[in-house]
């Protein structure tokens, strides 16, 4: 069973979200509140190096509105620059929290499914069913922080949506509320299929299966509140 003591890292993938400073800031805030390490990963697009070696390979650059041939050397340089930029942005947004940045080749490299909290930006799951993306994320992490689009830092209670008094969401929410100087609120969602959280919450903590999977990303995006989903054996 997941408890607050079992988490070690908050992981955020920067190749897709380095420019989303609010997501990094939220991840950093969560890491600081729980005393965890913030781990930023930059994963170069798989297969890009192969493509760059093909003679007709080219890329479309939206900013320049033109096609440019892909060159292996230049592509490598640009990836390097992108990684460096991601690192700089990550460090700036992360602030003083304990942090680490790495360039990894594979999505699953170095993950610890029992210790990691993964950050999932809502925008990342739009191409697929969010429930599926969440499910996949929870296979390689102990918890997932769903960050809605246009989230803004706000004050308010940390709300635990719990389906029983033993629900670990209550314990985690209490920890986070104490660290943030907020109040913790527990709301019973037993037998419900939607969340009753009041507006103005700073963070919602919920254990998976307390609500259906597809309700969880919606909870974040409709209320524009980050949601921390804890994996829990059924």
Partner 1 sequence: MSDTSHPAPLPPERLRRTADLASLAFQSTAELTPFDGFTGQERALGAVRLGSAIEKPGYNLFAIGQPGLAMQQAVETMLREASAAREAPPDWVYVNNFTEPHKPVAIRLPAGRAAKLGDALRELIEDLKATLPAAFESEDYQKRRGAMDEAFQKKQAASFKELNDKAALRGLVLLRTPLGFAFAPAKNGQVVSPDEFHKWDEAARLKVEEAMHEMEKELEHIVQQMPAWEKARREEVRKLNRDTANFAVGRLIDETKAKFSDLPQVQAHFEAVRRDLVDNVGMFVGKNEGDEGPVPTTLPGGPFDRYDINVFVANDPANRGVPVVHELHPTLGNLTGRIEYLSMQGALVTNFRLIKPGALHRANGGYLLLDVRALLAEPFSWTALKRVLKRGEIVIEDASHFLGLASTVTLEPDPIPLDLKIVLFGERILYYLLAQYDPEMTEHFKILVDFEDDFERSPKNESAYAKLIAAMAMHDKLRPLQREAVGLVIEQAARLADDSGKLTLVTDQIRNLIVEADHWAAQSSRKQIEQQDVQYALDQQIWRASRIRDRDQEMILDNIALIETTGQHVGQINGLSVMELGGFRFGRPTRITCRVRPGSGNVIDIEREVKLGGPIHSKGVLILSGFLAGRYALDAPMSLFASLVFEQSYGGVEGDSASSAELYTLLSALAEAPLRQDIAVTGSINQHGEIQAIGGVNEKIEGFFDICRKRGLTGTQGVAIPASNVRHLMLRQDVVEACKAGQFAIYPIATADEGITLLTGLSAEALNSKVEQRLKAFAKIRQRFGEAETKAKPDDTP
The binding site for partner 1 (CB under 8 A) comprises: 45-48, 50-51, 53-54, 56-63, 65, 67-68, 70, 75, 78-79, 81-82, 122-123, 126-128, 148-150, 152, 199-200, 221-224
Q: How far is the CB of 179 from partner 1 (least distance, A)?
A: 23
- Of residues 34 and 227, the one with the C-beta less far from partner 1: 227
- Of residues 65 and 73, the one with the C-beta less far from partner 1: 65
Name, in order, each residue with C-beta under 8 angstroms of 60's C-beta and a sequence gap of 6 or more.
Answer: 66, 67
Q: How far is the CB of 117 from partner 1 (least distance, A)?
A: 23
- Of residues 35 and 149, the one with the C-beta less far from partner 1: 149
Q: How far is the CB of 34 from partner 1 (least distance, A)?
A: 26
CB atoms within 10 A of CB 148: 21
Name, in order, each residue with C-beta under 8 angstroms of 159's C-beta and a sequence gap of 6 or more.
Answer: 173, 184, 185, 186, 187, 197, 198, 201, 203, 204, 205
SS3 content of the chain, % helix, strand, coil (to 5): 35, 25, 40
CA contacts within 13 A on the Cβ side of 106:
5
CA distance 10 to 90: 13
CA angle 196, 198, 202 (to 5 degrees): 120
- Of residues 8 and 15, the one with the C-beta less far from partner 1: 15
- Of residues 66 and 135, the one with the C-beta less far from partner 1: 66
Q: How far is the CB of 200 from partner 1 (least distance, A)?
A: 5
Q: How far is the CB of 149 from partner 1 (least distance, A)?
A: 4
């Amino acid at each position: 069973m997941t408890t607050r003591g079992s988490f070690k890292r908050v992981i955020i993938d920067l190749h897709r979200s380095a420019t989303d400073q609010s997501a990094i800031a939220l991840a950093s805030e969560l890491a600081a509140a729980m005393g965890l390490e913030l781990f930023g990963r930059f994963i170069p697009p798989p297969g890009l190096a192969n493509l760059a070696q093909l003679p007709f390979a080219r890329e479309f650059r939206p900013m320049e509105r033109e096609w440019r041939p892909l060159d292996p050397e230049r592509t490598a340089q640009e990836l390097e620059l992108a990684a460096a930029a991601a690192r700089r942005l990550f460090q700036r947004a992360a602030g003083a929290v304990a942090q680490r940045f790495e360039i990894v080749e594979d999505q699953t490299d170095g993950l610890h499914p029992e210790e990691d909290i993964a950050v999932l930006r809502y925008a990342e799951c739009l191409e697929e069913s969010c429930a599926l993306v969440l499910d996949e994320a929870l296979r390689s992490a102990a918890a997932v922080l769903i960050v809605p689009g246009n989230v803004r830092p706000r004050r308010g209670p940390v709300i635990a949506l719990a389906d029983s008094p033993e629900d670990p969401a209550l314990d985690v929410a209490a920890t986070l509320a104490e660290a943030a100087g907020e109040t913790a609120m527990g709301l019973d969602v037993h037998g419900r299929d939607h969340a009753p959280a009041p507006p103005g919450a700073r963070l919602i903590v919920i254990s998976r299966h307390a609500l259906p999977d597809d309700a969880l990303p919606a909870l974040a995006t409709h209320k524009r509140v980050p949601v921390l989903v804890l994996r829990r054996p059924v």
